[in-house]
């Protein structure tokens, strides 16, 4: 990543952090959020995390690869039950990384 892109990302994301954190503490102290918007916000993390991660796993080199010959998808399928049962990001990463390295070395 070149330095200019990095700075645009850093300052742009920094602005979104400040504006959201400060929104009602500093800027909109008198405004009320509609109930419908609050209900929608509840689904944001689940929707965003999945929308980011699924294409990373389903596509390899720009083409859809849903078979077990796709090492990252295979590694994720191994790591997902760990995430579900143990609720630990660290354990998920350790198992997933090990699965990816093994899959690339021995299977694909």
Partner 1 sequence: MHLSKDFLAGARACLPVAPGMIVFGMIAGVAMIGAGLTPSLAAVMSVVVYAGTAQLAALQLYAAGTPLPVILFAGLILNLRLVLYSLALAPYVSRASRRRKLALSYLVSDNGYAHFAARFASPPDSRGKVDYLLGACSAIWVMWQAGTAAGIVAGASVPDGWHLEFVVTLTFLALAIAVIRDRALAAAAVAAGVAAVLAHPLPFRLGLLVAVAAGIAAGIAWERWTR
In the complex, the residues that contact partner 1 under the rule CB under 8 A are 1, 3, 5-14, 16-18, 20-26, 29, 33, 38-59, 64, 72, 75-76, 79-80, 83-84, 87-90, 92-93, 96-97, 100-101, 104
**Which bin fits 87, alpha (ψ -120 to 50), beta or left (φ > 0)?**
left
Nearer to partner 1, 7 or 107 (CB): 7
Distance CA 55, CA 43 (A): 19
Residues 6+ apart with CB under 8 A from 104: 71
Smallest separation (angstroms) from partner 1 to the CB of 69: 17
Burial of 76 (C-beta count, 10 Å sphere; 0-12/13-18/19+):
buried
Smallest separation (angstroms) from partner 1 to the CB of 17: 5
Nearer to partner 1, 11 or 106 (CB): 11
Helix (H, G, I), strand (E, B) or coil at 52: helix
Nearer to partner 1, 50 or 107 (CB): 50
Smallest separation (angstroms) from partner 1 to the CB of 32: 8
Question: In which element (H, E) is residue 88 found?
Answer: none
Smallest separation (angstroms) from partner 1 to the CB of 68: 17
């Amino acid at each position: 990543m070149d330095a200019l892109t990095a700075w645009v990302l850093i300052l742009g994301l920094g602005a979104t952090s400040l504006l959201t954190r400060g929104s009602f503490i500093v800027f909109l102290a008198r405004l009320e959020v509609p109930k419908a918007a609050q209900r929608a916000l509840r689904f944001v993390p689940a929707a965003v995390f999945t929308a980011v991660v699924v294409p990373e796993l389903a596509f390899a080199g720009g083409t859809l690869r849903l078979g077990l010959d796709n090492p990252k998808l295979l590694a994720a399928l191994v790591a997902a039950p760990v995430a579900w049962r143990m609720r630990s990001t660290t354990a998920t990463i350790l198992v997933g990384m090990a699965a990816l390295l093994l899959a690339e070395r021995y299977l694909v």
